[in-house]
Structure 1
Amino acid sequence: MSTYNRSQAAMGPMVLAMAIIVGILLLMALVVNWRTVEHIPSVDYAPHAQAMASEADFPVYAPEGLPEGWVPTSTNMSTDGGASWTVGFATPSDMHAEYLITGDAEAAASAAPGEAGGTVEAGGLEWRHHAADSEGDRALLHEGGDGEFLVVSGSAGEEELERLAGSLQER
């Protein structure tokens, strides 16, 4: 017959086991919290701006002086069938805005979704406002006098799109 009695059991092993479990749970919570911090990768669009200025046969505009919170996330330049350059941004309100400069009227029209409406002035240029399309993207379109088309579009609000448009400076 066994002489073990549960009333004589010590609490020490149980407290140790609970401390280990709580420690593991705290470590898991820290890892999950650390991994949920958003990190938006940033790109440098200056090399494409310089290359575009040498390739295009029209004036090239590039964003300058955007306030904190604007993160350039992508840049893409193409010289097939005419020079075009696109720069994508994450905005301070965590939306998307994109800038396109091209000499191709069709490419500009397809980048400016929605119905054309009134005009707005930003950065000393007049922009034609395009209302939100079925996906919620809106756009501003400027037709330059030297064959260039500037399009600022995305899911960002009108105020942020106008801020991006206003930041465009001729190179």
Structure 2
Amino acid sequence: MSSYDRANSTFGSLVIAMGIIVGILLVMALVVAGRREEHIPSVDYRLDAAELRDTAAYTTYVPGESLPDGWVATSTNLDTDGPVSWSLGFATPGDRHAELAMSDADPDDFIAETTRQGEPNGSSEVGGESWERFEREADPDEKPRRALVKREEGATVIVAGSASFDELETLADSLDPQT
């Protein structure tokens, strides 16, 4: 006949409970480790680009094949009521934000709004064309805002964001006119 030993029974239950807890923690660690890579949702902007092309009375642009891998279109906003305006947001390979914006609104107002009151800061030569540079220093809670601006007949094209000027120049250089 075996005798019941309360001390061994309690220790055995403790070992089983600890094993279950460790198992749960390992499963949770594996799930979290598998999700470490950030997934940036992308949008298809082709419909807005086509509507812009058909609606706007100015030359419109879209990023072309020369835009390198790693650029992800994350937002599109087309406004055809009043001034025809479009903005297309991107996550850059450098984990920054860039935006292509164009409009036939008053150029000075559109530039001030899109650059967030940025100040002129020289120029960049992109694809054989001169683009004005604008920059707004960062507030303590925000990232700096940089912009490249090209004034065209009837419209203003702006590439802006927290991206570096090099990244903004890459986006600007990729722009192809829509026909």
- TM-score class, shorter-chain normalisation, is 0.7 to 0.9
RMSD, aligned α-carbons: 2.1
Q: Distance in 1 between matches of 2:164 and 2:175?
A: 18
Instruction: Give, in whole Å, the separation in 1 of the partners of 2:81 and 2:111.
Output: 15
Question: Paired residue for 1:108, among 107, 111, 136?
Answer: 111
Separation in 2 of the partners of 1:64 and 1:35?
31
Q: Give the share of equivalent positions with the same residue, in percent.
A: 46
Report the Cα offset of residue 129 of structure 1.
Answer: 0.5
Tell me which moved more, 133-142 or 70-79: 133-142
Cα shift at 1:12:
5.4
TM-score (structure 1 length as normaliser): 0.88
Q: Is residue 131 from structure 1 mapped to residue 135 from structure 2 by the alignment?
A: yes
How big is the shift at 1:46? 1.1
TM superposition shift of 1:32:
2.5
SS state at 1:27 partner: helix
Alignment partner of 2:82: what SS? coil
- The offset of 1:133, in angstroms, is 3.1
Measure, in 2, the Cα distance between the counterparts of 1:83 and 1:7: 80
Cα pair distance change 1:116/1:4, threshold 3 Å: same
Q: Which runs of structure 1 show a deviation greater than 4 angstroms over 4 or more consecutive aligned residues?
A: 3-14
Q: Within 2, Cα distance between the matches of 1:152 and 1:67?
A: 16
Return the offset for 1:31: 2.6
Equivalent position of 2:56 in the other structure: 56
The Cα shift of 1:34 comes to 3.4
TM-score by length of 2: 0.84
Q: Where do 1:9-158 residues align within 5 Å?
A: 13-65=13-65, 66-104=67-105, 105=107, 106-112=109-115, 113-134=117-138, 135=142, 136-144=144-152, 146-158=153-165
Q: Which residue identity does 2:88 align to in structure 1? A: V
**Alpha-carbon separation, structure 1, partners of 2:123 and 2:8:** 85
- CA shift digits 1:18-45 (9 cap, x unpaired): 3212111111212333344311100011
User: Which amino acid is 1:111 matched to?
Assistant: T
Residue aligned with 2:136, SS: coil
Unpaired segments ≥5 residues, structure 1: none
Tell me the amino acid that sits aligned with residue 111 of structure 2. A
SS in 1 for 2:37: coil
SS of equivalent residue, structure 2 residue 90: strand
Letter in 2 for 1:101: M
